[in-house]
Structure 1
């Protein structure tokens, strides 16, 4: 039985390189090249697999880029549950400027899914037997998918007594929370959209999360706050992870690494505080890995020893 299934309706192949300086018009020759499978749920699955978790990934594939994506996912040992689409799978492009340390991220347009295509994603999930204990839906929605797509995923998970985990933004997040989910992992921008408020410091952000949990629509919120650290809020407990003093190399993958480590440990029966500690370390470790490589377990375990957790 697969413990965890991730859903990525808008995956990508992520190409990363580095140049000394970005200058208009000139040919800029990259000093390196990485190609990774991308999209929220796929990234979460990659991290879960690295920590020894049992995970499968559901995602669409279209054209030659879709074929490449599937090979990249399976190269990392993640089992794929794919379905074909007419349009080409998207590619994203990341460039690090070594002279400044800045990273530039180019997110290209994704495919347009027909109703029969996005419906097949839901059908694939429904047909899994035995059903997983955790369903992790993550990332943006492709064109053509309805705003309540993740709410429909939540409904299926609820019907099968599985935990529904969500990491998305905008109307898709609002609709899924209205349906009811077990855990969301917003960043500050996503939490601002969901709560329609503008907290000024970490304690106010924590208060917003507590109010949402008390509403009964979300059982747990893992709020990542960048330089402010992270907070995990349940109905009867609040955990705060203080930020680690690191110098970021990359600007990508922290949220997916955080969520992958958190869910992997929760699925294994690890207590909430230790799971949260590893998640905070994983988010920081991803920033030390260039390109879209996500976190590495050795670095995560090293950083976890330095994570300070406050509990109330």
Structure 2
């Protein structure tokens, strides 16, 4: 039976990207024509799933002129969108590539506080979904000033689904306290979750297994950036190195990794395939310019290469 997926993005964005040669302070820089793309954690997960042939419902907040543009961009990609209209303007992010040295500069803006009424409406919208989706991906940051306890409430509302969380800071801690199916921290975030200032590489196994043994997650995927990732479950530890690719941009790589993993989970694949596809999609996205996501053919080529060497 086909599994259903819902992505939730509380702080989406419209990502604007451009390029210019030789960035110099106080000089008027004449950039190339900008490119606009939908952004934000869960939004990017849904966009990436679409490229892998997996349909999902895309639930996100939307406000003002930028929110309308975000909705238009997602409809152009033929996603099934569930926007919740809010008072504040949807945020924008800006990325610029200096073509003289191939260095990328990323400027992220905060989202405005969600009102208590808007938070209640988000919880209500999820609660009345019938049936609840098989997988719920809550990904991305909380808008500035929004109490992290709201993340805990949201995860609790999603109980009955397999919740996949990819956020950071207090929001991540709150979600894990409530308990999730899968979480994807980096080593620094994992350290915070187990009450440490930092973790040595040899401590990662113990930290991940502690979270699993406490019932806070069934699967912990520790992202190692360009070195790949490690997947932990109660019975397994799987470590896979990332393939060597020409990195043009890291925007959306983490979201693409989540999408790759979800695309296998909905088909009932094993954890080795889950991690392999996640790393393949994340790596393929780094090959794209600006804020673009992966090309499916690149992701599958990388996946086949990873799988062949396991």
TM range (shorter): over 0.9
Q: Which residue of 2 aligns with 1:294?
A: 293
Q: Which residue of 1 aligns with 2:259?
A: 260
The 5 A counterparts of 1:1-312 are: 3-158=4-159, 161-197=160-196, 198-201=198-201, 203-307=202-306
Larger deviation: 224-233 or 203-212?
203-212
TM-aligned CA deviation for residue 144 of structure 1: 4.4
Q: How far apart, in 2, do the equivalents of 1:172 and 1:310 lie?
A: 37
- RMSD across aligned C-alpha pairs, in angstroms? 1.8
TM-aligned CA deviation for residue 196 of structure 1: 3.2
TM-aligned CA deviation for residue 208 of structure 1: 1.9
Asked whether the 8 Å contact 2:164–2:180 carries over to 1, the reply is yes
TM-aligned CA deviation for residue 270 of structure 1: 2.0
What TM-score comes out, normalization by structure 2 length?
A: 0.94
Q: How far apart, in 1, do the equivalents of 2:3 and 2:13 lie?
A: 24
TM-aligned CA deviation for residue 176 of structure 1: 1.1
Asked whether the 8 Å contact 1:7–1:135 carries over to 2, the reply is yes
Q: How far apart, in 2, do the equivalents of 1:309 and 1:186 lie?
A: 27
Return 5+ residue gaps in structure 2 as ranges: none
Secondary structure in 2 aligned to 1:302?
helix
Deviation track 1:105-124 (CA, whole Å, cap 9, x = no partner) reads: 11112122110012211111
- In 2 relative to 1, CA 71–44 (structure 1 residues): closer, same or farther, beyond 3 Å? same
Asked whether the 8 Å contact 1:115–1:144 carries over to 2, the reply is no
Deviation track 1:241-294 (CA, whole Å, cap 9, x = no partner) reads: 112222210021111000011112101222221121111111111100011112
Return 5+ residue gaps in structure 1 as ranges: none
Asked whether the 8 Å contact 1:2–1:131 carries over to 2, the reply is no
Q: How far apart, in 2, do the equivalents of 1:174 and 1:257 lie?
A: 22
TM-aligned CA deviation for residue 90 of structure 1: 0.4
Secondary structure in 2 aligned to 1:135?
strand
Asked whether the 8 Å contact 2:191–2:207 carries over to 1, the reply is no
Secondary structure in 2 aligned to 1:136?
strand
Q: How far apart, in 2, do the equivalents of 1:137 and 1:109 lie?
A: 18
What TM-score comes out, normalization by structure 1 length?
A: 0.94
Secondary structure in 2 aligned to 1:206?
helix
Aligned residues: 308
Deviation track 1:147-188 (CA, whole Å, cap 9, x = no partner) reads: 122221221221xx2101100111111111111111001123
Secondary structure in 2 aligned to 1:54?
coil
Asked whether the 8 Å contact 2:176–2:216 carries over to 1, the reply is yes
Deviation track 1:97-136 (CA, whole Å, cap 9, x = no partner) reads: 1222211111112122110012211111112222210011
